[in-house]
């Protein structure tokens, strides 16, 4: 499996570089592979490869609204219910 290179941008999410995306799609076309084969070969998600085949450029924004944590409310809840802070997250 080939390790994918990452490119850092302004968002907190890591994205694959354009060159890597082009390479994956090029190998897919050259070797006549299906999406699942090329995604396994490069160690990336099949949905990512399908998305790249439709649009090679990364999205600039997310499709969901950004939610902010109300830290004061969280601290208040922890103070009021200290036992809940020690529960497992899963």
Query: Residue 84 domain-assigned?
Result: no
Q: Is residue 70 a part of any domain in this protein?
A: no
**Domain annotation covers residue 35:** yes
pLDDT at 73: 84
77 within some domain: no
Residues 6+ apart with CB under 8 A from 45: 39
**Residue 17 is assigned to a structural domain of this protein:** yes
> How many domains does the chain fold into?
1
Q: Provide the domain limits for residue 43.
A: 1-62
Q: Rounded to two decimals, what is the model's pTM?
A: 0.56
For residue 28, tell me if it sits in a domain. yes
Instruction: Give Cα 49 distance to the centre of its chain.
Output: 12
82 occurs within a structural domain: no
Give the whole-angstrom CA distance, residue 5 versus residue 72. Answer: 39
Residue 30 has pLDDT above 90, yes or no: yes
Residue 1 lies in a domain: yes
pLDDT digits (tens, 9 = 90+) for 63-83: 776 677 788 888 888 888 877
């Amino acid at each position: 499996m080939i390790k994918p290179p990452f490119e850092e941008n302004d968002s907190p999410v890591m994205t694959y570089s354009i060159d890597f995306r082009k390479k994956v799609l090029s190998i897919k076309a050259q070797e006549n592979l299906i999406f699942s084969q090329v995604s396994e070969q490069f160690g990336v998600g099949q949905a990512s490869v399908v998305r790249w085949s439709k649009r090679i450029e990364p999205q600039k924004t997310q499709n969901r609204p950004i939610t902010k944590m109300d830290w004061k409310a969280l601290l208040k809840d922890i103070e009021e219910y200290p036992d809940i802070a020690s529960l497992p997250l899963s």
